[in-house]
Chains A and B, each alone.
Chain A
Amino acid sequence: MQLTGADIVVKSLKEEGVEYVFGYPGGAALHIYDAFHRQDDVQHILVRHEQGATHAADGYARSTGECGVVLVTSGPGITNAITGIATAYMDSIPMVVLSGQVMKPLIGYDAFQEIDAVGISRPCVKHNFLIQDVNDIASTIKKAFHIAKTGRPGPVLVDIPKDITADVAEFLYPQDLTMRSYPAPRKALPNEIVIAVEAMLSAKKPIIYAGGGIVAASAQEPLRDMVSKLGFPCTNTLMGLGAVAHSDPNFIGMLGMHGTYEANMAMHDADLIIALGARFDDRITGTLHNFAPDAKILHVDIDPSVIDKNIKADIPIVADVKEVLIAFNNELTRREKDINPELLKEWWRQIKQWQSLDSLWYEVDDKVIKPQFVVQKLHEVTGGQAYVTSDVGQHQMFAAQFYGFSDTHRWINSGGLGTMGFGLPAAMGVKFAHRDADVVCVTGEGSIQMCIQELATCKQYDLPVKVINLNNRYLGMVRQWQEFSYEKRYSNSYMDSLPDFIALSEAYGHVGMQITKPSDVEGALKEAFAMKDRLVFMDFITDQQENVYPMIEAGKGHHEMRMRPGSKTLA
């Protein structure tokens, strides 16, 4: 079948099973947009800014495990998309970004809206392509999806010059592909499993440290199986929240800079750290020189480059974490009689003592709304089953600490790049994938303004997400650091002029609410969630001085957490 390049693009997306493409048109992409107009198989979602398109595709990908897809034009189209591509890259999210490019004969001549898309995206993509021939479109798109989804996932950019999309070629979507330079991921060797399980069975102070790789590999079930077999304490990273349910007695909270005291102390004192799909990043480890001094490190990851990058592994296993966990469980079943819960008694006694400090404690106030209180009530009102996106800052940490996730793919935040503006467009992407679920964006008055234009997209496509704006009139995390480390010199962390968020929401055609009293929080949430078909923007006026505790400050280790003033201390 002879088709134009533009039709081949759209047909290839259909072949990949793509439901939604998030994008924004422009000159170099117009042939492709015309091809979209000719079909109904793949739906194009028109956002209001290309950054929103990438975050929406990202939210779609994170909540489904499928590949998010983006279409933008050349020049500013792709430069606007870069922040969202980098966000996906840092968190290993599968995404394919198609960008229009100026016509081939114009490339290199500083044509209108020309930018070297392959060059500018190179540091923040898993791979990228510039298509040179209409005959290569289908196979390149096939490769792009394959690379984005396999191994350690990540974004892949396909840049397509405009003239190529007008050229005609025979369309035949390849069924197979061979890429000699992109081999299948390594598989674990039987002996590696035996050695790892042996280390588990003899550990007296073990901890399971599970990260975003569990989410990427959909390895929640075998992980939970292993945790219940072994009875080991388990901590999740910010990216791995939900891997073990917050209600599981073996779950001791998130670890890292704003993790629980017990999770960080357990990491520090452990004799065996079982790192599963996690990468020992700086927000997790604190300073490296006093990181877990007595621990043997068992590190499982699909990406060989994270092994020994920050922390040297004693038992490295490079393979898909789900396959490894299944193999661990089989070996543990075989050696069931060697599992000795007695070995862990003293360790659990110690952990319970740390837990008794209640490190997430905060003072409930009846006059001013505490942000933590809003998140706790949000959990209650949504039954803990909502998809929660967040932006970046204090509200992100409060959501991570207090929402209490029961499953993976529910907590959607920019952990690696820390992109303000992520939350609202990500929630749009989630809502497209989960029409009947509660989708909430927990944000702050700083972050929300970075992509607030997407309220219009929410209106156009009837996306009744709920926006929880924890409004403390400060860039809260910046203010907190300035309080702790800059002698309260609040340089440029206060926004003197904020919009009337109720009027703003209404201007976009949504419902706005402002909540100023703690006693109104629960009622307002119930009222908002009862409005099933409306986007409700809830502006919670919260305590300006509230800080995120506990905290590992710069230069400190896991065992040196700063607790909230007035906290209990160990006797």
Chain B
Amino acid sequence: MRHIISVLLENESGALSRVSGLFSSRGYNIESLTVAPTNDSTLSRMTIVTTGDDRKIDQIEKQLNKLVDVAALQDITIAGHLEREVVLVKISVLDEQIDTLKRIVKSFNASISDVSPNKFIVEMSGSCEKVDELLSSLQNGDIIEMVRSGAIGLASGEETLSIPCQID
């Protein structure tokens, strides 16, 4: 099963390597991993997409929680959530292909964000599945290079990821 685990991490040097090192040393899968600061400058938020059965996911969460730099975590896939990934695709396009490309772009709610002679960069934000679909639609064209951001996400509604209150 695919899981998206959000992690609030102390904004310390080396924190990222603790997480990535944990995954490699214990043989856990990482489909994608993104990290950036939050509105609280002392915290980073990391989003890890991983796969595994319930037992493995349970271990991943417990092992992550043991890391001293991990302040809180949440598996956002267990309930309603919003998932987004950004993709940029540089395509080589002949004049006669432009209309087809524009049609695809429109149908995916994507955009052509950079234009140079016969080279367009298509940009889209959506769920990872949507990104997969866009990429397969563009497969017939000439993809020169592409980059995906990896998934980010938030749980819907009342569910939030925050640091638990300390009770002494």
Seen from chain A, the residues whose Cβ lies within 8 Å of a Cβ on chain B are: 118-119, 122-123, 126-128, 130, 147, 178-184, 303-305, 307-309, 312
Contact = CB atoms under 8 A, between A and B. Distances in A.
Contacts of B10: 181
Given A122-B17, A126-B68, A181-B163, 15 more contacts: A119-B14, A127-B68, A130-B14, A181-B10, A181-B69, A183-B164, A183-B166, A184-B167, A303-B66, A304-B66, A305-B59, A305-B66, A308-B55, A308-B58, A312-B55
Contacts of A181: 10, 68-71, 163
Contacts of B13: 130
Contacts of B113: none
Contacts of B69: 181
Given A122-B21, A147-B68, A305 B163 contact: no
Nearest to B60: A305
A122 B18 contact: yes
B168 interface: yes
Contacts of B65: 304-305
Contacts, number: 47
Contact of B21 (A123, A130, A147): A123
Nearest to A187: B167
A119 B164 contact: no
Contacts of A118: 14
B66 A309 contact: no
B55 to A, nearest CB: 7
Interface in B120-168: 163-164, 166-168
B14 A180 contact: no
Main secondary structure of the interface of A (DSSP, over half): loop
A305 B13 CA distance: 25
B62 interface: yes
B109 interface: no
**Listed residue (A118, A127, A147, A305) with the most chain B CB atoms within 10 angstroms of its CB:** A305
Contacts of B166: 178, 180, 183-184
A517 to B, nearest CB: 50
**Listed residue (B13, B21, B55, B66) with the most chain A CB atoms within 10 angstroms of its CB:** B66
Contact of B25 (A123, A126, A309): A123
A433 B119 CA distance: 74
B63 interface: yes
Nearest to A156: B68
B18 A309 contact: no
B19 to A, nearest CB: 11
Contacts of A309: 59
B154 to A, nearest CB: 21
Contacts of A178: 166
Contacts of A122: 14, 17-18, 21
Nearest to B66: A305
Nearest to B26: A123
Nearest to B42: A180
A309 B57 CA distance: 11
- Which 3 residue pairs across A and B have the least CB separation, nearest first? A305-B62, A181-B71, A127-B68
B57 to A, nearest CB: 11
Interface in B9-24: 10, 13-14, 17-18, 21
26 contacts: A118-B14, A119-B14, A122-B14, A122-B17, A122-B18, A126-B68, A128-B14, A178-B166, A180-B166, A181-B69, A181-B71, A181-B163, A183-B166, A184-B167, A184-B168, A303-B66, A304-B62, A304-B66, A305-B59, A305-B62, A305-B65, A305-B66, A307-B62, A308-B55, A309-B59, A312-B55
